[in-house]
Chain A
């Protein structure tokens, strides 16, 4: 299983949140791999554990109430869950960087853009002030911000949403990380800016050949950017495969439902498909397959047995024994 060519390998990760007498199993046995230079998407609806998985990779889960109950996160062969806080701080930003969902609140309002981009570099490297300035300007230019010299002295409130997200990406790029985790970076932006940011991420990734873990609930974005896709539902990965397999030949009823819910040209004027029911409360998940109450293909065994991953060839896996063939 431990493939040396994987940059990041998450194996059977379990993160639970404890409330007074309930345990919310936010992430319940998630495994996926990211190879160098690859874009992997984590898709799923709100509350299915996408963000928690991403934060756990960086060990940023607030504890309490969050608890990592098991599993391994191998980064270049080192288990990040075994590292202590000081070693972890050297990984963050330097090897794995993160871009957050809300560019409006993810920048500190009291510092200039230049300060915030430079901070990551000053923490991880010894750099002269002049050199630091040059690198910040270059980073801003890389992410497509006009007249970067002037922007360095600006405060976050003087920039637009799209520019702030570009700044966030510049901050993530500052130390040339091997992996960028992008947690719904385009959700708070409007569609044209979204396309720009996606193209930016793609071009940067190709230029610097870094890996991207892209978290989103937007299948349109996935189709645009992903090499491989992991579909999550209620804390487990229900289907994984490369983008073509997932979109052309979905093997899990949830993925099928999501794809059917996309508006398309051929279905113009008709009602959109929707999956009946709602996501289960992570504290009270149904026994057996977590999707069975909403699933139109469900059979008796779905109610009792948690489904294993079924292989469909060429790295395409899905957690549904019913749609096996």
Chain B
């Protein structure tokens, strides 16, 4: 008895979770590991950077102007005799030189790293959230149809809202009230009208007009038609310049890829037996979408979002370079580059340092993303 018990208790399959297996595969890819290391270095730098460069009396002051020390090349020692004690850089050396106002480029790069990091993560976070939501709805509920009456009522409500906003109070309120009455009516009508024969026009109104999948995927197609960068430029020009607006705008113009991924995954997942099994357990729709299906669909989203972070960092740098980005006193890699381009022959480090920093960070995200994709790809896994 004890003997059989022991054999039964011995592990049945290699004791390896999915994560460990993934890490095994990922580790074999040297470039991806390099990407991961640089990414972690960048992460730590940015976090330390924002701590050391912000506050009343920062350790590295990115805004300290020393006009007599301007355009010094990297690794120059400051001229201690002409500087106030407070103006001397903390390291005792201009590690990455100074710019045209004598500000320490090293401090400014540190400050800019945080901007790049947050813009990258928050923008991609927004786009992934929107993308997962839209893709999830399109993939799971996509076969459902919006009915004619629902479309008409939403039009009525929207017109009501617009009229109210424009000042036509009575008509606006009237439309809004009528819309809400209809919604309440339609919630309870199922029970009231269940056993009656209905007039023909009523049935016609309740006929499905357009599928939810069509609506969402055509919206994606429309969004993909815009040249994104110019759309962002236009929107940013209209909005007050701030870091948060840029994050939101970048996020809201890059969710389409995620939506397509998630929808495609969901279309195949919803036919899987375990989804039916979950339904048979009495699990609700949203719990099925977000708890049962999403973890199975998240892999390609993760991959595309790492590459998306690189894209967002590039976009932010581009916007800052064009002067539409984060407003000037705050340093970002884009506006360091933009300031430096006037002195590209006198002080090339002002353009090369932020340029190379952007290059390395974007490259590391791309390498990391591709490594992740290869590790998650079951076809490549078979070969290895």
| Closest-CB distance, A54 to chain B (whole angstroms) | 10
The reply to whether A93 and B282 contact each other, CB–CB distance below 8 Å, is yes
Residue among B12, B272, B274, B279 making CB contact with A92, cutoff 8 Å: B279
* Residue A159 CB within 8 A of the other chain: yes
Is A105 a contact partner of B273 (Cβ separation < 8 A)? yes
**Hey, which chain A residues are within 8 Å of B283, CB to CB?**
89, 93, 119, 123
Contact between A98 and B277, CB atoms less than 8 A apart: yes
Q: Which B286-317 residues have a C-beta within 8 angstroms of A? A: 287, 292, 295-296
Q: Which B residues lie within 8 Å of A109 (CB)? A: 274, 296
Q: Mark A107-134, 1 if CB is under 8 A from B, else 0.
A: 1111100000001100110000000000
> Contacts A110-B18, A155-B17: A147 and B9 contacting too (C-beta < 8 A)?
yes
Question: Taking the nearest CB of chain A, how far is it from the CB of B48, in angstroms?
Answer: 35
A-B CB pair tally, cutoff 8 Å? 84
| Residue interface bits B261-287, CB-to-A below 8 A is 1, else 0 | 000000000001110111111111001
Q: Is the contact region of chain B dominated by helix, strand, or loop, or is it mixed?
A: helix
Report the count of interface residues on A (CB-CB < 8 A). 39
Q: Does A160 contact B (CB under 8 A)?
A: yes
Q: A158 to B13: give the CA distance in the assembly, Å.
A: 5
The interface residues of chain A lying within 8 Å CB-to-CB of B18 are: 110, 155
Residues of chain A in range 141-158 having any CB-CB distance to chain B below 8 Å: 146-147, 150, 155, 157-158
- Expressed in whole angstroms, the minimum distance between the Cβ of A193 and any Cβ of chain B is 14
Is B281 within 8 A of A171, CB to CB? yes
CA of A172 to CA of B295 in the docked complex: distance in angstroms?
A: 23
How would you classify the secondary structure of chain A's contact residues: helix, strand, loop or mixed? loop
Residue total for B at the interface (Cβ-Cβ under 8 A): 27
Q: In the complex, are the beta carbons of B273 and A106 less than 8 A apart?
A: yes
CB pair A89–B13 under 8 Å, yes or no, is no
User: Known contacts A105-B274, A110-B296; is A92 also within 8 Å of B281 by CB?
Assistant: yes
Question: Does A168 lie at the interface of the complex (its beta carbon under 8 Å from any beta carbon of B)?
Answer: yes
A94 interface residue (CB < 8 Å to B): yes
**Contacts of A102 on B, CB cut-off 8 Å?**
273
| CB–CB A60/B296 < 8 A | no
**Chain B, residue nearest A146 (CB):** B8
Q: Are A108 and B292 in contact (CB under 8 A)?
A: yes
Interface residue B186 (Cβ < 8 Å from any Cβ of A): no
B residues adjacent to A (C-beta < 8 A):
5, 8-9, 11-13, 15, 17-18, 143, 190, 272-274, 276-284, 287, 292, 295-296
* A to B CB contacts below 8 Å, 6 in the list: A58-B280, A89-B284, A92-B280, A105-B272, A146-B8, A155-B18
